[in-house]
Structure 1
């Protein structure tokens, strides 16, 4: 069996506000929208990455925190400049180099999801041993 894609759905009473956040700041566009459920494709991703938003329905609880949406970007500094310095979004996680091998920063969407934007950098020596080679494609 092959997994062709993956996405995440956040159940939120702030669907419209959250939708506008991703459309405005991440170039997202809807590829499905029935009002209470919307699939947003992140246009800047180049990979077809999607975020799904759903208003609470019977049997579903609203998102209550604890999730981080990681966005691997080509330039975290440029993204930071655009989103924080120019758009004025509030930073949760400051822009900095991390020893595990990324440079990134974090924001929060209107639903409470932490959006972490990063690009890879060389990991510090103590973290190199934790990387596992992916031999699936060899």
Structure 2
């Protein structure tokens, strides 16, 4: 299978709060909104949906769920979010596996890891595979 896009759909009672958060802090564009279900897009093939629980559906348990966002300049994104009044959970730091990143939480408790690629440490270089 070779999907042209993939996106998480988070079942939550916090659809309104999620819409505001992702638009304000992450620059998401609202491309569908019927009230109880929204689709937010970051770019072609990059999106996230939020849906109020329907009969028989359980809300997402966000503990352990992380959504990764690769950006060109992680330090600029960190400063931008702080400037908008968001308090990140962690500060940017370099990781030996080849990224520099920080974490914020969305209104549902989903961890958003925002990072930029950097040169991996020698012990991680062999872990990378090419297509």
**41, 47, 51: which one pairs with 2:48?**
51
* Separation in 2, partners of 1:124, 1:89: 31
* Separation in 1, partners of 2:93, 2:85: 18
Residue 80 of structure 2 corresponds to 82
Q: 1:58: Cα distance to partner?
A: 1.4
1:77-116 → structure 2 map (5 Å cutoff): 77-84=75-82, 86-116=83-113
Aligned residues: 130
State the TM-score, normalized to the length of structure 2: 0.93
Q: Unaligned stretches of 5+ in structure 1?
A: none
* Separation in 1, partners of 2:87, 2:123: 31
* Separation in 2, partners of 1:52, 1:124: 35
- Asked if residue 9 in structure 1 is aligned to residue 9 in structure 2, the reply is yes
Q: CA RMSD in A?
A: 1.2
Q: 1:70: Cα distance to partner?
A: 0.3
State the TM-score, normalized to the length of structure 1: 0.88
1:47-102 CA-partner distances (Å, limit 9, x unpaired): 44101000111132111122111001111000000002x12212223211110000
Deviating 4+ runs (over 4 angstroms): none
* Separation in 1, partners of 2:58, 2:104: 23
Q: Unaligned stretches of 5+ in structure 2?
A: none
Residue 20 of structure 1 corresponds to 20
